[in-house]
Structure 1
């Protein structure tokens, strides 16, 4: 009897203890973060994610976190542009789903020279292609890195340039001194060789007239034990030449007029076989310019205030410092609605018939009136139609009747309502 009661008491005490301590891990509010990496090819290339400073996780994993605001960040992956970190609030006992979307790099992105053709592998023998990565760079963004190679193997890459010009690039090596070699060739002739651990080095190469192939090689000799990262890096490839880029600018897609001073500029540029366009700037008056900014196909822009013809100017600058001529486009800014009037039967105060003639008048010193609409009650309007100076109209009945008109100009400004009242007498 005593032993049985003691057993029950023991179980009761254990349960009581668990109520106070077994759930201590969840004594505070908690939730979950589940993250998917897109596209799947980025995950296959090694892209991962983590919450705050936690362990890196694979795509699709779920992590338990406290109910609070957390930061989900993403790891670099070869040949993929890393998405920005995301701040997420995690409610209690809830699961937050996050998607990290990577975008692919082109090989040229790593060199910062997408106005020319790049190829890897370029020449035999080569087993492993070069790729774009973000961990090591001179410009703080990304750089090209040679592919992984074993002893007695090589990785190479090439581009093509038309001279006369001077090319420059930053390069760096990390390999066994003597056993690993990082060098470049111009038209098959070997130039400078790096070996061992180096810092970033600026290389300048003058080229004569005609087409040239520049190739970079990273190789490991027979029996090379390997050291460091066993690779070479290339960044900020620039063609130093004196020919400025060309370009174009269109305001609102080339529209003739607008009633909104906030417009969109459409931009194109080309630097041929030069250094590549690295900046663009804009001006409303040709004297005051915006700061140079990274080229983009569109640009939101504010016209100077006030009605009238506006001219937007654009210039492009290549990476060699050559600045283009000014490219311009004009547009009429018209924010003033039309003025106007309406009378019935040339202003007669009365009519003995319901079929009348509307006399219509307007003036617009901007883009000009193009359309009009009419109403007999102020609520129901005819569709917009071509503006005419007179129009047949049927009054809805006898007595005092009012007809209203509005005018629309070519910039989209709508006039106030103009009206005329007449008395229809039987």
Structure 2
């Protein structure tokens, strides 16, 4: 049975924040008095996503940005009073300002289920500041060469074709996450790290345990440990028998075995889950916007532009946090040393001052400058590979299966809402005769 889908209406699920955080039950406050009161009272981070629209940011973020200010006081679950940034220019400025630290142990996290964090593990560049971050970044950035990217592009095309063939043989309905979106970045990480062919099936099983809904917490813990141990052994092997891959290249640097294994694990985490979710959630968005799906199917050359717009529109890595290391004045407000700022990337990417009609998915939009890959020194190191994977996979999928459709009603798609990476746990699709 075919299930019809339709695009989310612009602004669907948003609401005016009447009596919003800090103003409940207060009488005699209206007009400018309410605005002044809200400015004084810290807000809490809106996290509830609107039912019926799996693509829009949580209701309330846009109102905070547009009706109050792009930078407001925020109360954190642990009681800390810090800040929430929702405007595009504000978030971009915070990304680029070296006076804000990315170190985990300095953060107050905005989500109640995550408490105090330890320092970043060895090799995890996301939680480092300069000069430690600079040392790692300089060693890695030169390894993403044009020659290597060209070779990886050819492999993306080959792997994509292999999995499309497998989908066609299997027939629908099937889970696009398991059968298409997850294997492509998993195998490309294998190519990047130089995982031998004999180990790749085992490697994929571990990564599948880490990225699917069916895995229980114990299975995910075991898979994480197994992957960590494997990457460490892989580093030792590359020391002895280097091959043409990134890990082998890094054995010629001054990185220790522990640091190399940490970098390998970091690249695995950074390059697998996010790209798999973008391929799956991007497909979901296209199936929910038939006119945009048709545009990509009819013009595969639109793929690079389409990927940038999907990155902006979906913003699956939706929130990040930094802490001021000194007093900073921003947007006319004083952020004091030690105060944490939560940066809502998804709200910034929907800022109408930067992207007109931001709640509409438009593959013809020039979405240059979106913050889906971050900005500044922590901008995604592997963004070019991620772009290649999406630019190859999405148009190839809709070209092979021009009548691709959801196999269940859109409201039955299980969404990943409990993690810092938004997306879908699985995506049942089918094609062919109705």
| Common topology (TM > 0.5) | no
- Of Structure 1 and Structure 2, the greater helix share is in 2
TM-score by length of 1: 0.21
The structure whose residues are more often strand, as a share, is 1
Rg (Cα) greater in structure: 1
The alignment's TM-score, normalised by the length of structure 2, stands at 0.21
Higher RCO (CA 8 Å, separation ≥ 6 residues) = 2
